[in-house]
A and B are shown apart, each in its own frame.
Chain A
Amino acid sequence: MRSLVVLSAEGEGFVPPSSNDFELPPIFGDNVFTTKPIFLVFLSVILVSVFFILSSRKASIVPSKFQFAGESIYAFVRNDLARDVIGHDFMRFVPYLFTLFTFILTNNIFGIVPFLQFPTMSRVSFPYVLAASVYLVFHYVGIRKQGAWKYFKEIMFMPGVPKAAYILITPLELLTFLLVRPLTLSLRLFANMFAGHLLLLVFILGGEHLLQGVIGLKLISPFAFFIGIVLTFFEFMVQCLQAYIFTLLAALYIAGALADEH
């Protein structure tokens, strides 16, 4: 944001926000570990940990309101994502899926929390890390369950398909399992957060810029802010949805690796 102000001060007219706005400088000197996204990620770990430890510490049969809040989120991941998708033996994956969901959700919502206002997942590195973990988990689970040979054989040579079709299907399946899945998983999350934040920047910085223009432009500026506010609510929905989709797909991939036949 600072860079934008600087740039617009230098040049004439409105400079639309770009990917450069996501490159935030280190807060302390040149240390690349002190950027805003990195602080936000650690903040999310602390917030999520504290919230769930406090709400589960005195977990009892009849929940308090606070316990109920934490428990509802946990029960949602446990029952609606893990149990319904993975089925038998789902408990093994509940901690992992629960972490994925709460981690992504919190970092996404940072995008519309006042003062924080930056969705951490719009930094592609974090979705990469998460997708890599999903990639490792579902392949590991599949190999453990069926053995490496059988697992890859089933990926490459899907049973119940005419032999000639393997020419087409085998490369596609390999590509899907080894490349497309982790890529789409990470890019979907990244792109949604990136685009959403960019959209908010356009309307809110645009509104601000209009306010500095002539009187006619000043009158238009409230509309830009209004759309910015509407989009903020829309973003909230997208942020929740993306956290859900990411976790759901992770569960689906694990379920697929566990299944005897694809």
Chain B
Amino acid sequence: MSKSVILAAGEKINPLVPHTAELIVGAIAFTLLFLVLRSKVVPMFEKAFTARTEAIQGGMERAEKAQLEAQRALVQYNEQLAKAREEAQTLREEARVQGSAIVEELRAKAQEEAARITAAAHASIEAERQQAVTSLRNEVGTLAVELASKIVGEALEDQARQSRIVDRFLDDLEKSKK
């Protein structure tokens, strides 16, 4: 149908009647656009969407993993700490035992030494005493002889004299000692 004819006639055109050319073009254009969008656009957008979802999920998973690892590390650290404490405790115990053993040993040694020194002192005292006794005995003998000769020489008359002599002797003794 030629449009110029219609317009010249001044008729009203029914707008609800489709044109064959437009129907064909509409169908072709729509199909074309559909094919382009389906093959080129939708897959690309979907890929980006999937990648985005995965990126978010992956990030969350990574965070979760990191947290888990941190927790594991904490547990391990605590374990190690406890072990170290225990070890320190054992070491201290051992040191104390060893220390007391050393002290004990030293004490025993000191006692032994003391005993030895005491024994030596005793021995030397004994020797000196022995010497003193010996020299005393000699002196007493001499004195006795001296005294006896004096007593005999004086010719002891009475009791009073006797005691006087003895006193004198002792005084002499005292004096000579000085």
Contact = CB atoms under 8 A, between A and B. Distances in A.
Interface of A: 3, 18-20, 22-23, 25-26, 30, 32-33, 35, 37-38, 41-42, 44-45, 48-49, 52-53, 56-57, 59-61, 63, 67, 70-71, 74-75, 78, 91, 94-96, 98-99, 102-103, 123-126, 128-130, 133, 187, 190, 194
Given A61-B52, A103-B33, A74 B41 contact: yes
B15 A95 contact: no
Contacts of B13: 19-20, 22-23
Interface in B29-53: 29-30, 32-34, 36-38, 40-42, 44-49, 51-52
A59 B13 CA distance: 48
27 contacts: A20-B6, A22-B15, A32-B19, A32-B21, A33-B21, A38-B21, A41-B25, A42-B29, A52-B37, A53-B36, A56-B45, A56-B48, A60-B48, A60-B51, A61-B55, A74-B42, A74-B45, A95-B38, A99-B33, A99-B37, A102-B33, A102-B37, A124-B16, A125-B18, A125-B23, A125-B26, A194-B15
The residue among A37, A78, A126, A128 with the most chain B CB atoms within 10 A of its own CB is A126
Given A38-B21, A130-B30, A25 B4 contact: yes
Given A52-B37, A61-B48, A78-B45, 11 more contacts: A19-B14, A20-B6, A20-B13, A32-B20, A44-B29, A44-B33, A45-B29, A53-B36, A95-B37, A99-B33, A187-B16
Contacts of A20: 6-7, 12-13
B27 interface: yes
Given A44-B29, A99-B30, A128 B23 contact: yes
A219 B19 CA distance: 42
A53 B30 contact: no
A57 B48 CA distance: 10
Contacts of A125: 18-19, 22-23, 26
B160 interface: no
B12 A18 contact: yes
B176 interface: no
B15 A124 contact: yes
Contacts of A23: 3, 6-7, 13
A7 to B, nearest CB: 8
A103 to B, nearest CB: 6
Given A30-B2, A48-B33, A61-B51, A123 B41 contact: no
Interface residues on chain B, size class: 35 or more
Contacts of B38: 95-96, 99
Given A25-B3, A33-B21, A133-B30, A98 B14 contact: no
Name A's interface SS: helix
Q: Majority SS of interface residues in chain B? A: helix
Interface string B54-82: 01000000000000000000000000000
Contacts of A99: 30, 33-34, 37-38
B17 interface: yes
A57 B44 contact: yes
A251 to B, nearest CB: 15
B25 A42 contact: yes
A117 B12 CA distance: 22
Contacts of B52: 61
A-B pairs with lowest CB-CB distance, top 5: A125-B22, A59-B48, A95-B38, A129-B26, A56-B44
A248 B100 CA distance: 94
Contacts of B27: 129, 133
A19 B15 contact: yes
A96 B18 CA distance: 23
A30 B83 CA distance: 99
Contacts of B55: 61
A3 B10 CA distance: 10
